[in-house]
Amino acid sequence: MTNRIIGYVRVSTDGQDEALQIDALERYAEAQGKALVLYADKVSSRKVRLQLDEAMKAMTSGDTFAVYKLDRLARSTRELYELTDAMKAQGVEFVSLSDSIDTNTANGRAMMGMLAVFAEFERDIISERTRAGLEAAKRRGRTGGRPAIDNKTKRQVKALFEAGESATDIAKEYGIGRSTIYKILNEEKTAGK
C-alpha cells in the first residue's frame, strides 16, 4: 500500500488534547485523496517516543510523512534534519501543515536545505562550547569525570556487600551509582585471581 499519509501526532500530557492535530491531518489526507495512517504519542518530547519510531518504520517509498507542526516532531533543528533526511532516503516526502513546509515543492525543499545548514551550525556551536569548557576546566586543573574512589572506600564497599547489604543501599550510603558498586566488586574479584 503506497501513497499514504503517515500522520504523526504528539501531545505532552494526558491533559492535552490531540484532536486539533488529528483533525488537521485528516483534512490534509482527504484533500490529497490518500489514506491516513495515524501514530500518536502522549509523552514529553524528551522521552522515548515509541509511536514516532513505529511511524518511521512504517514508511515506504511514495508515502508522505505529515505533522501538524514541526515542534510536534523534533526537539532540535538537528533532530528535525536527521528525521527528514531518513525520510528522504526512503523516498518519503515531508509536510508540516502549520509551518507550510512541503518537500514536494521547490520552496519546501529549499526550506529543508536551510534547516540542514542550521542543524550543522547548531552541532558546531555545541561542539565549540564543549571544547571551550573542557579547555577552561583543564587550565584550572580539573580533568573532568568523577573523582577516583580510594582503596579504603573500596574495602568498605566490599565488606558491606559481603555482610549482606544491597548494592542499592551501599550506593546511597556512599553517594555513588549502583553500577560503580558492581565495578568495585568485580575489581576485587579480578585482583584476587
pLDDT for 97-135, tens place per residue? Answer: 988 889 888 888 888 778 777 767 877 888 888 888 888
Determine whether 12 is an active site residue.
yes
Specify the CATH class of 151-191 in words.
mainly alpha
CB 180 within 8 A of CB 171: yes
* CATH architecture designation of domain 5-118: 3-Layer(aba) Sandwich (3.40)
Number of other CB atoms surrounding residue 28 within 10 Å: 18
Q: Give the torsion through C-alpha atoms of 95, 98, 99, 101, to 10 deg.
A: 20
**Grid coordinates belonging to 104:** 514536494
pLDDT for 74-97, tens place per residue? Answer: 877 778 888 988 999 999 999 999
Domain boundaries, the chain: 5-118, 151-191
pTM of the model: 0.61
Number of other CB atoms surrounding residue 25 within 10 Å: 24
Which band of pLDDT confidence, cut at 50, 70 and 90, is reported for residue 3? Answer: confident
Question: Of these residues, 12, 45, 76, 98, which one is catalytic?
Answer: 12
